[in-house]
Structure 1
């Protein structure tokens, strides 16, 4: 994967976290909580794809060595690209079907902070599996994802009070479109 593809995928992965952070940012959080939440979500966006990449690489190697020796690259590339496109379609569907306001009134500390970070980074696990099947560089990609998402969350939290609903509603739609386009790119190019 080129650096442009990694950065684009990082932004696509960060759209869920960004939209949630804009909504949470409307509470005008203290700086320490803003930094803690951004860092926690960024760490999860490093760990989840790393776990997924290792799982995808394991599946690629297992099936490639034992079952489909000559055709595993095309099969896993197709599967990985398909997963990205399906995730994009799910993001678009959820964006179009969930227009009601979400309640972010829970406290942001302890387990609720961890659960929030996990919930907005769970899609990164599936993307990691795709990348592992595409035989991609693990640590560098995951680090870039984490940095991009951390910055996106910080920006979302800071801007949340000013731009509220407009950006948070449309960023997940944009992320879904980007994931579909990346899946098509990996499949055909």
Structure 2
């Protein structure tokens, strides 16, 4: 597998993380450097760890989990997206009480957007690809793409305010639905 193939795979895997980053930032949850770092770092880390996990666990276990992995991702994204939607429709002006770039919400989002990367790790094992370079590239590309999406999302949030929280929630729910239907 050459470098171009690995970059294309990395960009494809980074799209869900980018969409979540865009939504979170536009809803006002990446207002400081620490939140930006947490989002980009965790998405890159989990996106790198999942193919590694898939690679080492092997085909038999992953084929079992893969049968319902899309439902797990759907449920996680529906939960977080639903919370953002409810918060965005709250007329009191309050936003989510918990920053999605912190704690278990960050872990849940990171897992949800990186489950498909586990299957990529299995395919790498079947093709006997040396795993360390692809894992590094996937993690770095996802972090960079997430960071870029956050920068764009912040601008949208500045322009459109609290209504972007509704958009962010819809994006998360939409990604979950797309995962189930794919």
Tell whether the structures are fold-level matches, with TM greater than 0.5. Answer: yes
CA distance in 1, matches of 2:82, 2:121: 28
- C-alpha deviations, 1:15-49, integer Å up to 9, x for none? 00001111111033211111011111111111110
Task: Say if 1:53 and 1:131, in contact at 8 Å, map to a contact too.
Answer: yes
CA distance in 2, matches of 1:102, 1:148: 28
Aligned positions of 1:97-136 closer than 5 A:
103-104=83-84, 105=96, 106-108=98-100, 109-136=102-129
CA distance in 1, matches of 2:144, 2:56: 25
What is the aligned partner in structure 2 of residue 36 from structure 1?
38
Shift of 1:107: 2.5
Task: Specify every segment of 5 or more residues in structure 1 that has no aligned partner in the other structure, as ranges.
Answer: 60-78, 84-89, 177-189
2:147 to 154, 167, 189: 154
What is the aligned partner in structure 1 of residue 24 from structure 2?
24
TM-score, length of structure 2 as denominator length: 0.63
1:142 to 113, 122, 135: 135
CA distance in 2, matches of 1:158, 1:103: 23
After superposing on structure 2, the runs of 4+ consecutive aligned residues of structure 1 that deviate more than 6 Å are: none
Change in 2 beyond 3 A, CA 1:103/1:158: farther
RMSD: 3.2
What is the aligned partner in structure 1 of residue 92 from structure 2?
none
Task: Specify every segment of 5 or more residues in structure 2 that has no aligned partner in the other structure, as ranges.
Answer: 85-95, 157-163
Task: Say if 1:55 and 1:132, in contact at 8 Å, map to a contact too.
Answer: no
- C-alpha deviations, 1:53-81, integer Å up to 9, x for none? 2234x76xxxxxxxxxxxxxxxxxxx9xx
CA distance in 1, matches of 2:22, 2:146: 8
CA distance in 1, matches of 2:83, 2:17: 15
